[in-house]
Structure 1
Amino acid sequence: MNLFDRFILTLYSLALVVISLFVMAAGLNLISSDYITDTINEIYSSSEVGLAYFAAAAIFLLISLKFLFTSVRGEGRARTPASVHNPTEYGDVQITLDTIESIAMNAARHIRGIRDLKAHVRAEENRTSIHVKVAVDGETPIPGLVEQVQQTIKERVETIAGLGISKVTVLVSEVAQPGSGARVRRVE
């Protein structure tokens, strides 16, 4: 459900709350029958008021039908995870972006000087790029470390997944404090 649908559903729900409270109050005789009768008579006697009620009811009907069909039909079935297609002579191979991220993280995990990392893969038409965010130990020179991370990830993903990687971008986010915990932890 996208943001617009959520906004419409919120307005729809609030309107139903107001209508429900009104009907409950009428059922408990908290609203006089004269008020209800006058409102109904006004709908029938004034074409502007009748048209406004008709428009509101039509909007409610359309929104109800939209949500009904969406719930019955589902939102495009179960979504398949984003993947990269790699055609071979025997058929098409699909590798999920999560798989490529795991390969990249496993490759960088073994590099001395990396303390923490996470990877994000972006697949476009003919290019696959990997963005890696790392925390370093502060003892290994960063330029050499970053180059090693880029080279290792690119080679490992291309070897294991058989995909061409257009670029590996590395963001050094912090220097880990001495004596901080485990060598590498996986950040989700």
Structure 2
Amino acid sequence: MIKVLDRLLLLLYSLVIAIASIVAIVAASGGFSVEWLQEVVSDFTGDVRVVQASVIGVSIVLLLVSVRFLFVSLRRDGNSAPSINQRTEHGDIRISVETVENLALKAASRTRGIKDLRARVRVSEAGLGILIRAFVDGESSIPTLSEEMQRAVAQQVEEATGIPVAEVSVFIANVTQAPATFKSRVE
């Protein structure tokens, strides 16, 4: 409920600031004559003190909303780390996305011929989408390595987390160069 209220406040705040900015830009660039502005204000209120009180009131409200947004932006929320939530008969289970990424990296690193790995996890209705970015040694078939890595990652993540894996995409970024070995020659 509070998040909905904060979003509504942010929307209204943004609209007020945008309108005030447009009016200020037009007024500063000479779009309104000073006499016309004074006439509009006096016709609208009839009293300069009422205008001053209105401006002070609106300014206080905007200041309070600004302080609220400052507080919300600086507050550390315990739920800030992205996680995957599951409900079981015994209670809730929260698994961080970072944990799933590490499980995927661990499973992918067991594949022979893989040198450098990175993983990204997306959560969707169908299950987890895992993207593995890898460097290979170039001595094995890339399609075979990729398929083996996909199977290993999907199986490991599903077994460890109980969350279905919708897809495992493998992106082979490059082939690593093996360091040159020189045989020493004794004469």
Inter-partner Cα distance in structure 1 for 2:58 and 2:135: 53
2:172 maps to 172
1:35 maps to none
* Aligned pairs (5 A) from 1:12-161: 47=38, 63-74=62-73, 78=77, 80=79, 81-161=81-161
Inter-partner Cα distance in structure 2 for 1:130 and 1:168: 5
Inter-partner Cα distance in structure 2 for 1:160 and 1:173: 27
The DSSP-based 3-state class of the residue aligned with 1:178 is coil
8 A contact 2:137–2:176 mirrored in 1: yes
Inter-partner Cα distance in structure 1 for 2:39 and 2:134: 65
TM-score (ref. length: structure 2): 0.62
Using the TM superposition, name which of 61-70 and 147-156 deviates more: 61-70
Deviation at residue 62 of structure 1 after TM alignment: 5.6
Aligned residue identity for 1:47? Q
Aligned residue identity for 2:96? T
Aligned residue identity for 1:84? I
Inter-partner Cα distance in structure 2 for 1:159 and 1:127: 14
Aligned residues: 144
The DSSP-based 3-state class of the residue aligned with 1:120 is strand
Name stretches of at least 5 consecutive residues in structure 1 with no aligned partner.
Answer: 16-42, 181-188
Deviation at residue 85 of structure 1 after TM alignment: 2.0
Inter-partner Cα distance in structure 2 for 1:178 and 1:57: 71
Inter-partner Cα distance in structure 1 for 2:37 and 2:156: 75
Inter-partner Cα distance in structure 2 for 1:46 and 1:159: 71
1:19 maps to none
8 A contact 2:127–2:163 mirrored in 1: no
Percentage of pairs with the same residue: 29
Q: CA RMSD in A?
A: 3.7
Inter-partner Cα distance in structure 2 for 1:76 and 1:126: 33
- 1:31-51 CA distances to partner (integer Å, 9 max, x unpaired)? xxxxxxxxxxxx899616969
8 A contact 1:44–1:50 mirrored in 2: no
Deviation at residue 70 of structure 1 after TM alignment: 1.4
TM-score (ref. length: structure 1): 0.62
Inter-partner Cα distance in structure 2 for 1:44 and 1:65: 32
1:32 maps to none
Name stretches of at least 5 consecutive residues in structure 2 with no aligned partner.
Answer: 1-9, 22-33, 43-50, 181-187
